[in-house]
Structure 1
Amino acid sequence: MRENQILLNTPTIEQRADPWVYKHTDGCYYFTASVPAYDRIELRRAATLQGLRESEPVTAWVKHETGPLSANIWAPEIHFIDGKWYIYFAAARTTETNEGLFDHRMYVLENESANPLEGAWVEKGQIRTRWESFALDATTFEHRGTRYLVWAQKDPDIPGNSNLYISEMSNPWTLQGEQVQLSTPEYDWEIIGFKVNEGAAVLKRDDRIFISFSASATDFNYCIGLLSASEDADLLDPKSWEKSAQPVLTTDEELGLYGPGHNSFTKSEDGTQDVLVFHARTYKDIQGDPLYDPNRHMFVRPLLWNADGTPNFRQSVRQI
């Protein structure tokens, strides 16, 4: 393997799937992700992106022993909204016959401390949606004074595992008004193993809003697609959003990165450049269920842009 391939293949943080990095106004980066045991939510804080690797994780919250918050704690995200910190995550219920797989609902934690690694995290409860069904990967963003939630959920009347939805919010844990379907798995690259759209992340640049999302099974077929809309569009109108006909990031066997997905976006340390954060494995073949393979690692790349104003995920991943 060439030296540049080794560098491109080196994780920023190992064994952390669904990585979420938030750069706060205090200049620090705050990091959270799914831990291999799926039993808790950890936070890290550092002045630099690379510093997150060596920073000491702090446990913010631990799963319940029983009930709907007792299994498979997935894909936490940390956000700062109206002077408070919030963590969005998915959790399932453990029963005697079910280990909580694909029984997830979305939940929110709140912390009033200036530093979210301190103070108490208060459970604000479940985000209630149109259906009481498999739901996960909530992310939130603000646009022109309105706060929105984007999430993945199973519609009982649609074949498949999860679709993407958007709704306005009345507060950081409550939806209001219409809940709109943005995307369903329809292309061949979205339905390998499972029919999945999940793991949304929002990025605004110039006059456009982008939503990246992940598709297919969580093995080497996992990949990233992209939705885009004009900043002037009605974001609750599905016709405002255009979906990429092809995935924007897939397995790169030459680099040895397999199943890239569930990304987030942050900013460079000087605040001038967008940064792509994603997880991937460094090998193709997996023993057993991919969900329980711990070696999805966090990778970080400066995000490159095409001349037409769209993000270039592939070239971003291929640069050192």
Structure 2
Amino acid sequence: MLRSLICLLVFLTSAVQAQDTFRNPVLPGGPDPWCTYKDGHYYYMHTMGNRLELWKTKNIAFLKDAPHKTIWTPPASGAFSKEIWAPEIHFIKGKWYVYFAADNGDNQYHRIYALENSSPDPMLGVWEFKGKVADIEDKWAIDASVFEHRGKLYMTWSGWEGDKNGRQDIYIAAMKDPLTIQGKRVKISSPQYTWETKGDLRDPNLKHLDVNEGPQMLKYGKQLFIVYSGSACWTDDYALGILVAAEDSDLLDPSSWKKRAEPVFRQSPENKVYGPGHNSFFTSPDGKEHWILYHANDHPGDGCGNKRSPRIQRFRWDEAGWPVFGKPLQTDTLLQIPRS
């Protein structure tokens, strides 16, 4: 009898621990991960390439068990039919929006497009294609993200200054509404440090590719941070950099943004994590824990494909109000789930 009770206790303890802990990755594969939290659920997306897929879960650590569905399939041909990249879902002014990059099969025509859904639950209702979201210059653009600050809406993205590849910069623009950019784009970051310039371009006509991409807003205290990815995504040197601006500054003034010279999150060969990048942020359901969601590879040279898997880990803030991400953790690290 006693032995049976002990076995039952061990089983129950293991079951509780299994519910309270997890290991990365949260999915076997999934580049460019993004999530947002609303009304008790996380909504998650990543690059699928040929469609837009949406996950819904109460705990992002258990994403593998979450229901998911295709919310949009592109047409067979046309300007937004191929290379569906970096989707993000946002709840803005009472409606859901998904922003993503797409082209016609030729990378030079990548632009930002949007879907809209008025259902309170984005897994329900109708997702309506709303067309291209572009500034008046309408140059190459990927990795769009939208945020609100002091009642104003902004979009950030990675783009080309001209019409040729070779360098990706970070741009910001004001938005009139969730589907309309107002005024001109403003460049706030270009690759300037060595760590941002790793990776030969896969084009015989070009020798090098300098990259700033995947900009993500992170607010804390009286500062606004944009965390972005630098260097070519197919290199192990792909890493995260950071820009900072004061909360009361003009966000459309490039001089408001200051860049840290060194990356804030980079590969950790000792932990067998390579090319960590293209992140987003979320808090625990109780709002007290701060987490980073990012993709990374398990082996050097795994490249810029579907071997990249989404991982999450907590980060802290230093006394100056800057995020401290530490190192990307080993995939065999047992972690506590985000606190409810």
Where do 5+ consecutive residues of structure 1 fail to align? 1-6, 95-99
* TM-score (norm. length: structure 2): 0.85
* 2:215 aligns with one of 200, 208, 211: 200
Q: d(CA) in 2 for partners of 1:53 and 1:165?
A: 34
Equivalence for 2:325 = 313
The equivalent position to 1:65 in structure 2, one of 58, 62, 76, is 76
Q: Please give the alpha-carbon distance, in whole angstroms, between the structure 1 residues aligned to 2:69 and 2:254.
A: 39
Where in structure 2 are the equivalents of 1:153-164 lying within 5 Å? 153-156=159-162, 160-164=166-170
Q: How many residues align?
A: 302
Maintained 8 Å contact 1:8/1:255: no
Among 292, 299, 308, the alignment partner of 1:283 is 299
Match in the other structure for 2:30: 16
> In the TM superposition, what whole-angstrom CA distance separates every residue of 1:139-162 from its partner, at most 9, and x where no partner exists?
011111100111111111787331
Task: Name the amino acid aligned to 1:272.
Answer: K
RMSD of Structure 2 on Structure 1 (CA): 1.8
1:191-216: per-residue Cα shift (whole Å, max 9, x none)? 11121111011011111101000011
Give the C-alpha shift of residue 103 in structure 1: 2.9
Query: Following superposition of structure 1 onto structure 2, how do residues 173-188 of structure 1 map, counting pairs within 5 Å?
Result: 173-188=179-194
Give, as a single letter, the amino acid of the residue that structure 2 aligns with 1:297: S
- Pick the aligned partner of 1:34 from 33, 47, 55: 47
Corresponding position: 1:172 with 2:172: no
Q: What is residue 302 of structure 1 aligned with on the other side?
A: 314
Match of 2:63 among 52, 55, 79: 52
Unaligned 5+ runs, structure 2: 1-20, 200-208, 336-340
Change (3 A) 1:136 1:158: same
The answer to whether residue 87 in structure 2 is matched with residue 87 in structure 1 is no
For 1:161 and 1:173, locate their aligned partners in 2 and report how far apart those are by CA, in whole Å.
Answer: 26
> Structure 1 residues 224, 303: CA separation in 2 closer, same or farther (over 3 Å shift)?
same
Alignment of 1:83-232 (within 5 A): 83-94=94-105, 100-156=106-162, 160-193=166-199, 194-218=209-233, 219-232=235-248
* AA in 2 matched with 1:32: M
Return the offset for 1:282: 0.6
Q: Is the 8 A contact 2:172 2:186 kept in 1?
A: yes
Determine the C-alpha separation between the residues in 2 that align with 1:258 and 1:9: 17
Percentage of matched positions with identical amino acids = 39
Residues 7-46 of structure 1, C-alpha deviation per residue, up to 9 Å, x if partnerless? 997301121110001011x1110000112xx101100001
Larger Rg: 2
